[in-house]
């Protein structure tokens, strides 16, 4: 039986100077499906990018699902309009949201406020929460303790060390691993990956960002989620098939996806 994958975090409709057309998104989905990726969670990071995610999900029902959120870089923009979009068809989670103290494109106070309000919204609506954290793990854990969404939380593109992983695992979170696990300087991350229980593990591309080795430096694609999973399996000393089965099952459960495509 062929291995099937879910890319639980990508940005199919990323709005930028080179924003992909609908046809380009169709091509990305088709290429990834040919590589065994059966489903995609395309993630919103502000109002227009969340709208693009919703549009991509509408174009590929039963294959692509969307999230709606406000990235910490844009926390100063506020949450206006996002709550209404969470009721759109195909939306399965709130986020990405969180804290980024590395770049601080928004003041920390604004990030903390937006993160707490978004987590509370996820709890109110009964939706899982997709969280971005960089250089802010202690504060992120504190916010999540106070505003815990019962439907579950995933730390996407986890980049912390073993102590950070334990902090989140003690809270009951899932940790999603990106192509960073293949980078030469990611020894601390690889140590953390070894201790994540199989039932808490996810894999993602974060496409179009963070292409894994040997594709580093190029535009990332959802089809590369298999490369990430291969690296995770090697780091953990597990069968590749076991990682495929566990991460696919975990993504289905978190985002409440039916077992078979509709």
Domain boundaries, the chain: 5-255
How far is Cα 58 from Cα 63, in angstroms, rounded to an integer? 10
pLDDT tier for residue 166 given thresholds of 50, 70 and 90: very high
pLDDT tier for residue 19 given thresholds of 50, 70 and 90: low
Whether 204 shows a pLDDT value over 90: the answer reads yes
pTM: 0.95
pLDDT of residue 16: 59
Topology adopted by domain 5-255: TIM Barrel (3.20.20)
Whether 184 shows a pLDDT value over 90: the answer reads yes
Task: Please confirm whether the linkage preceding 208 is cis (ω < 30° from 0).
Answer: yes
pLDDT of residue 13: 72
pLDDT tier for residue 4 given thresholds of 50, 70 and 90: confident
């Amino acid at each position: 039986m062929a291995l099937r994958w879910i890319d639980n975090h990508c940005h199919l409709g990323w709005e930028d100077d080179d924003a992909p057309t609908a046809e380009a998104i169709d091509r990305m989905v088709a290429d990834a499906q040919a590589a065994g990726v059966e489903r995609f969670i395309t993630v919103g990071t502000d109002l227009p990018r969340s709208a693009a995610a919703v549009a991509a999900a509408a174009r590929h029902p039963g294959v692509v699902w969307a999230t709606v959120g406000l990235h910490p870089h844009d926390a100063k923009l506020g949450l206006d309009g996002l709550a209404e979009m969470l009721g759109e068809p195909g939306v399965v989670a709130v986020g990405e949201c969180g804290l980024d103290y590395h770049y601080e494109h928004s003041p920390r106070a604004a990030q903390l406020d937006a993160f707490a309000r978004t987590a509370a919204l996820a709890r109110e609506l009964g939706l899982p929460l997709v969280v971005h954290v960089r250089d802010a793990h202690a504060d992120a854990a504190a916010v999540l303790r106070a505003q815990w969404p019962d439907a579950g939380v995933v730390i996407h593109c986890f980049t912390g060390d073993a102590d950070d992983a334990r902090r989140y695992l003690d809270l009951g979170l899932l940790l999603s691993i990106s192509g960073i696990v293949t980078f030469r300087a990611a020894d601390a991350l690889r140590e953390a990956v070894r201790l994540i229980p199989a039932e808490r593990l996810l894999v993602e591309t974060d496409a179009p960002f963070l292409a894994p080795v040997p594709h580093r430096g190029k535009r990332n694609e959802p089809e590369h989620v298999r490369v990430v999973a291969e690296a995770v399996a090697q780091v953990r000393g597990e069968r590749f098939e076991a990682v495929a089965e566990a991460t696919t099952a975990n993504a289905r459960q978190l985002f409440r996806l039916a077992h078979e495509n509709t």
